[in-house]
Structures are given as structure tokens and as C-alpha cells.
Amino acid sequence: MSNYSLTVRVRRWAKYLINTIDERIHGLDFSMVYVGDLQRSQAEIHGYSMTDAGDMKRILQAIPVKASESAFLDIGCGKGMCMKCTAELGYRKVAGLDLDEHLLGIARTNMRKLQLDVDCISASAVEFDRYQDYDVFYFYNPFGAATFQQVINRLIESQRQRGRNIWVAYYHPVFGQLFEDAGFQLKKVVHDITRDTVTKIYCYPLSVSNPLR
């Protein structure tokens, strides 16, 4: 089935309409696509589009970690839907990273209304210096290949600061080969039948010299 088939389009728009109505009733804002001045002025930074909540929970449940002992970071978190889903599944620590202050403001409002303890961080993914605090990372193409490569390098560096298996969930993995070339192992593929795409789940395991304890 193609991404542009009538069936996929109908399912996609029906779900979008249902989500939007429900959000308006509860004073939330997750669904609306957003491309601001930051995204228009910098080719490496992409606009916001929401990951469906049901798909996100299936993705998280496919990652073999204990939620209550794991920390999650959404890189390019936008309005915060993925953080919401992760917090609801009981992760020990949940945070999102974004450069767009407008999107972060919406995310903070959403989290406050939902009374979720989530950290919304304003920072560049390349310059962020606390990757070692997290175990599971989520991407939905927040930027281009050049930035992705730099962020992947930072993730690998963080393992030297805190030895642990690093898990990555990458939705619609346009640049998935970059992870594989860097030594991340493809563990699972989660299919999204509504949007007709996949999420690839990668692991960068502990080295033999730094065994998992």
C-alpha cells in the first residue's frame, strides 16, 4: 500500500479530525502541523507533525526496557504527544528537546493541563550535553542528514559517560542507514498501517569492555 493511496489518506484524515476535536474539547493542542520561521529559514530543521498516540504506545511497548527504570528523550519533541504517551506508560524520567520556543510553549501548556511531570528543554540537539541521562531516544525526522550524523555521534559519546544499552526508536526512518553505519543494531520493525510507514528500533549495546551490570 502506498503512502498516497486513497485508503491511507482517508484513515489519516479521519484520525486527524477525531484527534483535533478531542483536543479542542480538553483545551489541548497536539495535532496541528506546524512550520514556523525557524523551520523555514534553516533547511536542516524540519517542521512539526504529530506521531499518533496509539502508534507511539505500540512503539514504546516494543522496546525491551523496564519503563519504571528508564529515562526517555524525544529529540524534536514539538508539542509533546510522544512525551505524554511515555509518561502515561510510567517511565522514570521523560523529557523532550526542541529549538522552537513556540512549540515548546505549547508542549509545556499541554503537559501542565495534563498534570504530567515532563521536562521540556530548549536546546540544540547537537549542543545538548546530557544525553548520558537517558536510555531511550525518539526521532521523527526533526532535522536533516548532517545534523543527524552529529547527534548520533553524541549518543555514542554518551555511552562512555554512562555505560548502558542505548535504544533508539526512529519513526519513518529516512536516514536510518546512518544509525546502522554507526554501529546501531536493528532490533525490531514496528509497522504503522494507518500511515503506511514503519518505526525502526535500534540498540547501541554496551561494549565487551564495559559489560551490562
pLDDT tens string, the chain, 213 residues long: the values are 345 566 666 666 666 666 667 667 777 787 765 455 555 556 555 555 768 888 999 999 999 999 999 999 999 999 999 999 999 999 999 999 998 899 899 999 999 999 999 999 999 999 999 999 999 999 999 989 999 999 999 999 999 999 999 999 999 999 999 999 999 999 999 998 766 789 999 999 987 445 444
pLDDT of 34 reads 47
Q: Compute how many other C-beta atoms are within 10 angstroms of the C-beta atom of residue 172.
A: 17
Compute the half-sphere exposure of residue 81: CA atoms within 13 Å on the CB side of its CA.
21
pLDDT of 52 reads 84
Instruction: Return all residues near 110 (Cβ < 8 A) that are at least 6 apart.
Output: 28, 29, 30, 79, 80, 84
pLDDT of 51 reads 82
- Domain borders along the chain are 6-204
Q: Among 86, 95, 90, 102, which Cα is nearest to 39's?
A: 102
C-alpha–C-alpha distance, residues 159 and 194, integer Å: 35
pLDDT of 16 reads 64
What backbone torsions phi and psi does residue 93 show, to the nearest 5 degrees?
A: -145, 135
Q: H or E segment at 94? A: strand 93-98
Q: Which residues pair with 175 in a beta bridge?
A: none
pLDDT of 184 reads 97
Q: 6-204 has which fold?
A: Rossmann fold (3.40.50)
Contact 75, 136 (CB under 8 A): no
